Amino acid sequence: MNAEAASLDYECLLSLLELGISCSRESPKERPTMEDVVQTTESSTDYSTDLSALLALKGRITSDPHDVLSRSWNANTSFCSCILDLSNNSLSGHLPDDLGRLRRLKTLFLEGNRLSGPIPPSIFNISSLELLNCAINEFSGYIPTGTGSANLQALSFAINQLTGTIPAELGNYPELRFLSLSVNNLTGLIPPSIANLTQLTILELSSNNLQGGIPTELGRLINSEVLHVKQNGLTGTLPSSIFNLSSLQILAVSKNMLTGYIPKGGNGPWLPLIQKFYLDDNRLTGLIPQQLGQCKYLIDIELYNNQFMGNIPVELGNLPSLRILLLYSNNLSGPIPSSFGNLTKLEQFEIDSNNLYGMIPNELG
């Protein structure tokens, strides 16, 4: 696993927790104990089903080094059947199909374990499910799909060993706001159907083996704040549509095989909220657009290891928050802009392996 990618992905995973979907409003006194569930009557068969599903999960766990299940799941333990959080417990084993029988489940957190095997498709038939985090495990096989999770708001299978393609059916979850499939072994194309997720704010597909182009349709993700597709095998040009995303704060398409120019965008503002702009390690050419100098929230620009040519735009000196500017290993020419003396917050500045001349402003040290 690439440490840099894993760190970046983990930062995005934190956003999953910030969605803050809470448990039901039942007070602890109103929640049934496991003993109550066992003694269920016909009017409470849902709890019996929950117990059966939970015991099936417990039976598939082969290693529980912290005794989480044996200590917590007993006859005297109150439980809330809408939340199942087993994260960061070093659990080993497999997930049973019975998980799909947890009909009131809203939140399923399994991240940070050693769970393996396939992810059961039955999970996606839980109509109440809102948050699903299976990141940082050893799951393998394909990404399952289902039809019952219309309320799903966050989904992460990041940092596993999943293979196959990204299912087009993932575009059928209208409430999805967070999707992370990074650091797996996924292949094939980025499905254009992802553009149907108009509520999506974070899309993380980095560190896979994806091919083909970046779909133009992604420009329809009008609420998108983070778009990570770095470290794949993507080809083609950068679609101009994504440069019109007025909410986008982080664009990471590094370490692919993209060609062509950086688009100038359409009639609207050019990435007005962008903070981090990662296009490094591609085959991009043409000029660095002057519009970058209008993105006043930029703190990090990384365009190194490409084939950009022409002058460095003097407008880049108008970025008051810029801390990192990496332009090395291109075909840039002309003078080093004196306006760079205005970049008082700049911490990392690299422009070597170009055809530039002039002095670096004294203000940059």
C-alpha distance from residue 160 to each of 11, 112, 336 (Å): 16, 10, 44
pLDDT of 308-356, one tens digit each? 999 999 999 999 999 999 999 999 999 999 999 999 999 999 999 999 9
Percentage of the chain exceeding pLDDT 90: 71
CB 299 within 8 A of CB 324: yes
Of the ranges 162-166, 168-172, 202-206, which one carries the lowest mean pLDDT score? 168-172
Per-residue pLDDT, 50: 79
Spatial CA neighbour of 245 closest among 213, 214, 279, 220: 220
Q: What is the DSSP string of 220-285?
A: G-TT--EEE--SS---SPPPGGGGG-TT--EEE--SS--EEPPP---SS-SSTT--EEE--SSEEE
Alpha-carbon distance values, 211 to 74, 106, 183, 276 (Å)? 48, 34, 15, 24
Q: How far is CA 257 from the centre of its chain?
A: 21
Structure tokens at 106: 């809203």
- Residues 245-287: pLDDT tens digits? 999 999 999 999 999 999 986 666 899 999 999 999 999 999 9
Q: Please tell me the predicted confidence (pLDDT) of residue 46.
A: 54
Three-point CA angle 344, 364, 343, nearest 5°: 30
Query: What is the share, in percent, of the chain residues with pLDDT greater than 70?
Result: 82
pLDDT digits (tens, 9 = 90+) for 41-78: 233 445 677 778 888 898 999 999 988 887 766 545 44
Q: What angle do CA 299, 301, 303 make, to 5 degrees?
A: 175
Question: Which pLDDT score, from 0 to 100, does residue 72 have?
Answer: 64
What does the pLDDT look like over 128-140, one tens digit per residue? 999 999 999 999 9
Predicted pLDDT of residue 265: 67
Looking at the predicted structure, is the pLDDT value of residue 39 above 90? no
**Which of left, alpha, beta for 134 (phi over 0: left; psi -120 to 50: alpha)?**
alpha
Residue 9 confidence class, pLDDT cut points 50, 70, 90: very low
pLDDT at 35 over 60: no
| pLDDT for residue 53 | 86
**Average confidence (pLDDT) over 165-175:** 94
Q: Note the pLDDT of residue 150.
A: 85
AA identity, residue 56: A
Structure token digits, residue 25: 């409003």
Alpha carbon separation from 312 to 75, 232, 342, 364 (Å, rounded): 69, 28, 15, 16
Per-residue pLDDT for 191 more than 90? yes
Question: How far, in Å, CA of 201 to CA of 278, rounded?
Answer: 18
- pLDDT interval class at 82 (50, 70, 90): confident
Residue 235 has pLDDT above 90, yes or no: yes
- What pLDDT is recorded for position 68? 85
Q: How far apart are CA 106 and CA 84, in angstroms?
A: 8
Q: Tally Cβ neighbours within 10 Å of residue 190.
A: 24
Q: Which tokens hold the place of 323?
A: 């801390």
CA angle 68, 73, 79 (to 5 degrees): 115
Task: Provide the residue ranges of all domains of the chain, joining segments of one domain with +.
Answer: 46-364
Residue with the bigger pLDDT between 299 and 29: it is: 299
Question: Sorting pLDDT into bands at 50, 70 and 90, what band is 7?
Answer: very low
State the pLDDT at residue 290: 93
- Helix or strand or coil: residue 103? coil
Q: What pLDDT sits at residue 37?
A: 34
Position 172 pLDDT exceeds 80? yes
Q: Could you tell me which residue, 45 or 359, shows the higher pLDDT?
A: 359
Give residue 110's pLDDT: 97
Which string of b and e fits 346-361 if b means at least 16 CB within 10 Å?
Answer: beebebeebebeeeeb
Task: Classify burial at 316, counting beta carbons within 10 Å of its beta carbon; exposed 0-12, middle 13-18, buried 19 or more.
Answer: buried
pLDDT greater at residue 101 or residue 247: 247
User: Binning pLDDT at 50, 70 and 90, where does residue 79 land?
Assistant: low
What's the whole-number average pLDDT of the chain?
86
The residue-averaged pLDDT of 285-295 equals: 95
**Taking the model in full, what pTM does it have?**
0.86
Class of residue 365 by CB neighbours under 10 A (exposed 0-12, middle 13-18, buried 19+):
exposed
CATH class of 46-364: alpha beta
